């Protein structure tokens, strides 16, 4: 079987015979990127998957209501870094061009990156 180039790192690799359509090498970083890509595509394309994820996250949050408060108390360096990032003027300026969706972001917004990446729960 001919070698292929990894879709993540670009390195040549030999696909497994059981998976001739394999596009990512076996490197753990590339496999993590493959899973993340699959997850993001699934969230965008499958409303049932997206709804189940939102329900699951909501149920977890109801079972663990003090998680972020405890996390910040136990990790003061993280909490301070997060506060500094929220105050930082390094964010790119917003322009008036384009279409925007305004969403409420919880106080722990920087820790929840899927909101920042535009993924809807």
Report the number of distinct structural domains present in the chain. 1
- Within a domain: residue 10? yes
Residue ranges making up the domain that contains 51: 4-87
Question: How far, in whole angstroms, is CA 116 from its chain's centroid?
Answer: 9
Mean pLDDT across 9-26: 95
Greatest extent of the chain over all pairs of C-alpha atoms, in Å: 54
Q: Does residue 101 belong to any structural domain of this protein? A: no
Q: What is the pLDDT of residue 67?
A: 95
d(CA 39, CA 114): 11
pLDDT digits (tens, 9 = 90+) for 23-47: 999 999 999 999 999 999 999 999 9
Decide: 119 and 36 in contact? Cβ < 8 Å: no
Residue 102 domain flag? no
- For the chain, strand residue ranges (E) read 4-5, 12-13
Convert the pLDDT of each residue in 53-110 to its tens digit. 999 999 999 999 999 999 999 999 999 998 888 887 766 666 667 776 777 766 655 5
Q: What are phi and psi of 58, to 5 degrees?
A: -65, -45
Position 121 scores a pLDDT of 44
């Amino acid at each position: 079987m001919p070698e292929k180039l990894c879709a993540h790192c670009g390195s040549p690799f030999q696909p497994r015979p059981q998976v001739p359509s394999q596009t990512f090498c076996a490197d753990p970083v590339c496999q993590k990127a493959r899973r993340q890509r699959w997850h993001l595509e699934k969230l965008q394309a499958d409303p049932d998957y997206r709804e189940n994820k939102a329900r699951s996250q909501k149920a977890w949050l109801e079972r663990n209501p003090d998680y972020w408060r405890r996390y910040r108390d136990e990790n003061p360096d993280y909490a301070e870094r997060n506060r500094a990032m929220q105050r930082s003027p390094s964010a790119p300026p917003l322009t008036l061009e384009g279409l925007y969706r305004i969403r409420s972001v919880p106080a722990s917004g920087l820790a929840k990156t899927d909101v920042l990446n535009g993924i809807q729960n």
